[in-house]
Structure 1
Amino acid sequence: MKIVLITGTSKGIGLETALTFGRAGYKVFATMRNPENASDFKQKIKNESLDITISKMDVDSDASVKKGMDEIIQKNGSVDVLVNNAGIERHGSIEEMSMDDFQSVMNTNYLGVLRCTKAVLPQMRKAKNGCIINIASVSGHIANSPLGAYAASKFALEAISEALAQEMKPFNVKVAIVEPGIINTQMAKDISVNAESLYPHSKRLAGLFSASLQTPTPPTLVADKILEISESNTWKLRHPVGPDAAPFIEWRGSMNDEQWINWNATSDEDWYKSVEQDFGLNAR
């Protein structure tokens, strides 16, 4: 039986990914910061008789990751699939966001992935077998306010994943990046308006997310793609997921840097008209 370890499984994409792998017959280690709050998840596991073990792990902590990973690897011998899903989002203008928020986002979304990845690399390399799937975002290709801090962490994750793929392919270890668009998760719902901001961008993006979530894309779509990647023979690195993911990336690619900056710096009226014209979304 293959063993999969998934981080950030308390809700959203991580929770659905754990259930998807469990239903597919994997032995799943679902990690999270606060397992004591996962009563609904535990009930689902019991109801469906799934081989899922909920484990405590805080990817922000070297000690927590080492302890959690050592226990799993020592008891089970190896991890066949690592899904680095744990992530947080903080939004705001560069001027107005605190340094603590910038550091928190980078620590979880980038360094957290490195902590977990480095813990499994020696045994995957020696076994010449394994799969590492990093959950990035369309924001790993598109930097716009007020998601500058979040995008920076996902740009970094994209870069380190690309380098890791080069290092691990000779050892038959597959590395893949999953890039969801706007998915119906609590994180997406939490993109809100900062009424006190000096900048208009939080209002604009909150409207864009709200409009997109009127026709929600479920996190199960991402979970299914993660399982598909792990079981396939493809060495494809990047996998946009969701109906808006590839179009968003292609849309950004259609503009040069100066055009992109000008579009984000334009007046509210022109910005809203453009979104409606290009995507059929009323973000007002």
Structure 2
Amino acid sequence: MKSAIITGASRGIGFETALAFARAGYNVFATVRNPDGVAELKETAARESLPIKVLKMDVNSDESVNDCIHAIYEETDTIDVLVNNAGIERHGSIEEMTLTDFRDVMETNYFGVLRCTKAVIPQMRASRDGCIINISSVAGKIANTPLGAYAPTKHALEAVSEALAQELKQHHIRVVIVQPGIIDTDMAQALKPGVSSIYPQVNRFGGLFQASLKSPRPSSMVADKILEIADSSSWQLRHPVGPDAAPFLGWRGTMTDEQWVDWNAAEDEVWFDAVQNTFGMDVR
């Protein structure tokens, strides 16, 4: 039986990914910061007799990551798949967010991934097999307000993943970047208009999220793609997921950097009209 570690498995994409892998026959180690908050995952696993073991791991802590990975290797000789899903989000204007906000998001979304990845590479390299799947976002290629703290973490994650893929291919270890678009998660639901800010971009982008979530794309959509990637033999590096992911990335690709800045700096009505003309969504 193959084994997989899924980080941030208490809810959302991590929760659905743990279930998807277990239902597909993987031995799943579902790691969470707070094991008391995973009653639904444990109940589902028990009801369906799924091979899921919930373990406590704080990706922000060297000691916690090392202790958890050590405990996993006491139960299994190999980890076939690592899904680095654990992440947090802070949003607002760069001026109005604190430096603590920036540090917290980078610590979890970037350094947390590095901690977990570095902990499994030696065994994968010795086995000459393995798959490391890093959950990024379309924000890994697109930067705009109010995601000035979040997007840099995903840009950094994509850069280190690309470098790591080059290092590990000779050892037959696949490194994969998954780029979800707007998915119905707690994180996406938190991005709403109505925030008090001197910058209008903070609220109008929240309107875009809420308009998109009127036709919600479930976390299971991303989980199914992650499982598909793990079970494949593809060396494709980046995988946009969701009906708006590739269009968003393509849309950004049609603009120069200067056009992108000008469009996001435009007055509200200009911005709203552009979104409606491009995507058919009224986000006012």
In the alignment, what sits opposite 1:47?
A: 47
- Distance in 1 between the 2:158 and 2:195 partners? 32
- Distance in 1 between the 2:195 and 2:61 partners? 34
In the alignment, what sits opposite 1:27?
A: 27
- Distance in 2 between the 1:73 and 1:241 partners? 31
Structure 1 SS opposite 2:75:
helix
In the alignment, what sits opposite 1:116?
A: 116
Structure 2 SS opposite 1:4:
strand
- Distance in 2 between the 1:87 and 1:4 partners? 18
In the alignment, what sits opposite 2:239?
A: 239
In the alignment, what sits opposite 1:178?
A: 178
In the alignment, what sits opposite 2:126?
A: 126
TM-score (normalizing by structure 1): 0.99
Aligned-partner residue type, residue 216 of structure 1: P
How far residue 165 of structure 1 moved from its aligned partner, in angstroms, is 0.3
TM-score (normalizing by structure 2): 0.99
1:60 aligns with 2:68: no
Paired-residue identity, % = 60
Structure 2 SS opposite 1:21:
helix
Summarize deviations over 1:219-265 as a string: whole Å, max 9, x none.
Answer: 11100000000010110000000000000000000000000000000
In the alignment, what sits opposite 2:269?
A: 269
- Distance in 1 between the 2:202 and 2:121 partners? 39
How far residue 78 of structure 1 moved from its aligned partner, in angstroms, is 1.6
In the alignment, what sits opposite 2:259?
A: 259
How far residue 38 of structure 1 moved from its aligned partner, in angstroms, is 1.1
> Which runs of 5 or more structure 2 residues have no equivalent in the other structure?
none
- Distance in 1 between the 2:100 and 2:194 partners? 18
In the alignment, what sits opposite 1:136?
A: 136
Summarize deviations over 1:106-136 as a string: whole Å, max 9, x none.
Answer: 0000000000000000000111000000000
State the superposition RMSD in angstroms.
0.7
Aligned-partner residue type, residue 43 of structure 2: Q
- 1:105-254 to structure 2, matched below 5 A, reads 105-193=105-193, 195-254=195-254
Structure 2 SS opposite 1:235:
coil
Structure 1 SS opposite 2:29:
strand
- Distance in 2 between the 1:74 and 1:43 partners? 25
- Distance in 2 between the 1:243 and 1:122 partners? 37
- Distance in 2 between the 1:195 and 1:110 partners? 27
Asked if the contact 2:21/2:28 (under 8 Å) is kept, the reply is yes
Summarize deviations over 1:127-147 as a string: whole Å, max 9, x none.
Answer: 100000000000000000010
In the alignment, what sits opposite 1:88?
A: 88
How far residue 77 of structure 1 moved from its aligned partner, in angstroms, is 1.2
